[in-house]
Structure 1
């Protein structure tokens, strides 16, 4: 995700603040089912206030890679492995008068307007309402709420259990503020349920890109029903309204506490949008920079009825098309890559001698159990876990001694296991995404081995190194190589660069396979062949 200029925010809730002026102009959110913008806002706020609701305005803004470096890392010492293929749009909330906002994270996702916050707390009677025109056609969009932080501390046994896995331990276990052992608050960023993505939307309300859709985030079915009635009174079809239910408990115990106080959990709700259709790039960029979304917080009065909390958290079951029949072909491809890279580029094939287990990228959700409920139970940062993708990760290897790495795997879009695939480079010193190769750039990358490898079109081969010139003569060169420059990721000798100095010059490879076709969730990784990362070195280095 490259730098995007700070968005010129279009405040569609001018009318809400708070209907001080009569006759607000119509907000033209574009074609789509149901009314939109001020057309809804004016009547919705009026109806809710007549029913005794408190209403507070918000707005939407783009969260950029530059925001991560300028705000998130300095405050959290963690960029949360942001996806460079999917910049996030965040709702920004006006604080309730009694709401505690931690000064250590007040600007964690960028500097909001005075009196607003980029993370928020929820009273049991609260709801966040977000609505407007969805982005232009693409392969993915989704809204998801995560618990951002919680009171507590991890145990030494849990820290030791995970400290030598694929993610450096300081990103998994840290306090707010970071490194403060006296702090009683830990970073969480853990899932509270399945995402409301474009497949979920289409199943309920039809094709939703470019259409008006409405989202309610609440812990109470009572509040949800009251907000739905108010939306439907403005002409919004029920099928266009989606509720994210904040559960009262998960597999490990209660989710909470809720409330405005210092010890209550807080939340963040990003809207993700990735891989616009061909020809939609300009429109997509315009949507992101100026998101046509209305945001408000509401609080139901006691007269609306007793709070009815939602039941235990559950995740939708994943499925996958078995790739086991391709295992032999994958091994043949690995052998061929090792042979051609050593002979054509005259590199040493150190990684080809490694066992499959030691050179394999892993799916932490399935193999380690790193999903929201477990992470919360041990006060671990779940790094924004979600069920829409397999998210393969590898331990950060070094780059500055002439190393060359080849990632080899099945291409899930070609095996029917993904709607889109993204192979990413993360700066290990920030845990920040810095480069991305989509399936469109990976497709055909194994064709140079078709004479010796069956089903080569179902695989990909891609290299990462500081200097792609060393791969001259290797099949697919130079297209199949990403050069990780010092501007993208600092060298190990760069003492002035931001981030953890011990991790300068190292990258964390990741592979995301998003949404198995025919389902609303990512594929089940047990059915897929895990990616392999092969290490090569230059003689004399």
Structure 2
């Protein structure tokens, strides 16, 4: 088939391939309409009639196991994936002239031959994904990042973060090449944001409650291509308010984004759809949706006849707001003191994180507020932004040992109770993989500070949660089994005797992270400058 002219290939095979692969692994039942199938046939026919080239794709679930089996071995990084939910990734068939870096083949799971989850974009290209959205829940959103870029960082930029003692992320995750650990490589990992997420609030404000409804997404660098694809969707009866475009901007405030194209030096892209915290009565339906996402994926290229390429303007992020939590600062200090006293007396554990001997590890910094890690900055200096986004305040601890009887207490305001989050996720991460391994939602954190109500005002606005290899050392503490997550060796292997996966220097190292998602009444995460900074306190068992 390599000798068939491209235009003939797409026109003869496009509909058949999309029928086979367009809905991913989803197999519709009798009489079921997935917004794929019949509509896809009509859409492809209409696009091709108007001169478009069409290539098929499919939707694939990306799981924590994929991170361990594929992403870390190839990229040496799991990009601090959020364990609150798996991700759905659109996978597309490569164009005949598209450069595919051997180093990233199957980097995000086992793909069909000739397909990729990291893709390049010609100025006239678009990736199109549509279908039935998941059952009702508290969050879903589509985001595209620049995955990698040509060029290399300056030694001075790398040294800046190497010498900064309070930044929490091990340096190899921030500065690495493709393939990893290749000093002479002129391609760096980027995973940097290109704009705001198209989330459920954005969808609802434009077209009503989107869960369980059909919605349509276009990812493109050209307004011309977007308009032409929209016309084709309109011809299939899709209302314009149900179509959402992720605009790939021509530049950000620090420089151009690109170059586009199919060549080796062009930037490539990575897209995910994330669905989190289904409604309690929707868990079974949510599991079914995730197992076989009923989504159609294709990539298209507009002909010159639709008009000249019109690139989008510069990247701008929406303004973020928050309810100021400063009035709770004294209560936070009192709560930290109370936790220190109670753990020291009731559980007889020691700590140096209380009183006048506070260690540098105690605060959890916010990666945007405290370090400015956003897409434009990361692209400018050739740094990996680890999938930055504007839908959450994101606090992260540095790697901490957990194999010698340590108990970690995380203390902070509960943003769902201060009106600053739709949902909150407190996570445990394996530092050797930069991967999330366990998660506690706000529903599990709510009320965990009520045992301190006699000495702490507004205790209902706070949470206290513990992480340890052995939570039984907290016996005697109020609600100790409920408010402690045991980090098993199955979640995070021990330092001693660990073989295979992960960075050996970071085996047995734990990182805590806190994400506060989407301030109610807005489309984005809370402004973290108005939030109190979470504290992580380290306790150890007394020597016998």
Fold in common (TM above 0.5): yes
Contact 2:14 2:54 in 1 (8 A): no
Q: Could you give the per-residue CA deviations for residues 149-185 of structure 1, whole angstroms, max 9, x where no partner exists?
A: 0111111111111124110000000001111001110
Q: Could you give the per-residue CA deviations for residues 401-433 of structure 1, whole angstroms, max 9, x where no partner exists?
A: 211110000000000000000000000000010
Q: Could you give the per-residue CA deviations for residues 104-154 of structure 1, whole angstroms, max 9, x where no partner exists?
A: 011110111111111100000000000000000000000000000011111
- The aligned counterpart of 2:347 is 345
Name the SS of the counterpart of 2:121 in structure 1.
coil
Give, in whole Å, the separation in 2 of the partners of 1:404 and 1:86.
26
- 1:388-403 matches, within 5 Å, as 388-403=391-406
- The aligned counterpart of 1:118 is 117
Give, in whole Å, the separation in 2 of the partners of 1:247 and 1:14.
29
Q: Could you give the per-residue CA deviations for residues 57-76 of structure 1, whole angstroms, max 9, x where no partner exists?
A: 10001001110000000001
Change (3 A) 1:472 1:504: same
1:435 aligns with 2:438: yes
Give, in whole Å, the separation in 2 of the partners of 1:266 and 1:415.
39
Displacement of 1:30 = 9.9
Name the count of aligned residue pairs: 522
- 1:132-281 matches, within 5 Å, as 132-163=131-162, 164=165, 165-281=167-283
- The aligned counterpart of 2:462 is 459
Contact 2:15 2:44 in 1 (8 A): no
Give, in whole Å, the separation in 2 of the partners of 1:292 and 1:275.
19
Contact 2:353 2:359 in 1 (8 A): no
Give, in whole Å, the separation in 2 of the partners of 1:148 and 1:100.
14
- The aligned counterpart of 2:24 is none
Displacement of 1:523 = 0.1
- The aligned counterpart of 2:9 is none
Displacement of 1:19 = 7.2
1:291 aligns with 2:293: yes
Contact 1:408 1:461 in 2 (8 A): yes
- The aligned counterpart of 1:8 is none
- 1:65-144 matches, within 5 Å, as 65-144=64-143
Q: Could you give the per-residue CA deviations for residues 435-479 of structure 1, whole angstroms, max 9, x where no partner exists?
A: 000000000100111111111111000011111111001122111
- The aligned counterpart of 1:336 is 338
Give, in whole Å, the separation in 1 of the partners of 2:18 and 2:315.
36
Contact 1:492 1:505 in 2 (8 A): yes
1:472 aligns with 2:475: yes
- The aligned counterpart of 1:5 is none
Q: TM-score, normalised by structure 2?
A: 0.93
- The aligned counterpart of 1:530 is 533
- The aligned counterpart of 1:417 is 420
Q: TM-score, normalised by structure 1?
A: 0.94
Contact 2:19 2:37 in 1 (8 A): no
Change (3 A) 1:301 1:110: same
Displacement of 1:355 = 3.7
Give, in whole Å, the separation in 1 of the partners of 2:101 and 2:31.
38
Cα RMSD for the two superposed structures:
1.8
- The aligned counterpart of 2:504 is 501
Q: Could you give the per-residue CA deviations for residues 175-216 of structure 1, whole angstroms, max 9, x where no partner exists?
A: 011110011100000000000000000000000000000000
Contact 2:352 2:359 in 1 (8 A): no
Give, in whole Å, the separation in 2 of the partners of 1:459 and 1:411.
5
- The aligned counterpart of 1:17 is 17
Name the SS of the counterpart of 1:270 in structure 2.
strand
Contact 1:341 1:474 in 2 (8 A): yes
* Aligned with 2:449 (options 424, 446, 450): 446
Contact 2:418 2:461 in 1 (8 A): yes
Change (3 A) 1:251 1:31: farther
Displacement of 1:29 = 11
Give, in whole Å, the separation in 2 of the partners of 1:356 and 1:137.
43
| Long gaps (5+) in structure 2 | 1-12, 21-26
Change (3 A) 1:229 1:149: same
Q: Could you give the per-residue CA deviations for residues 203-255 of structure 1, whole angstroms, max 9, x where no partner exists?
A: 00000000000000000000000000000010000000000000000011110
- The aligned counterpart of 2:46 is 47
Give, in whole Å, the separation in 1 of the partners of 2:159 and 2:446.
40
| Long gaps (5+) in structure 1 | 1-12, 21-25
Give, in whole Å, the separation in 2 of the partners of 1:146 and 1:94.
19
Displacement of 1:273 = 0.4
Contact 1:425 1:508 in 2 (8 A): yes
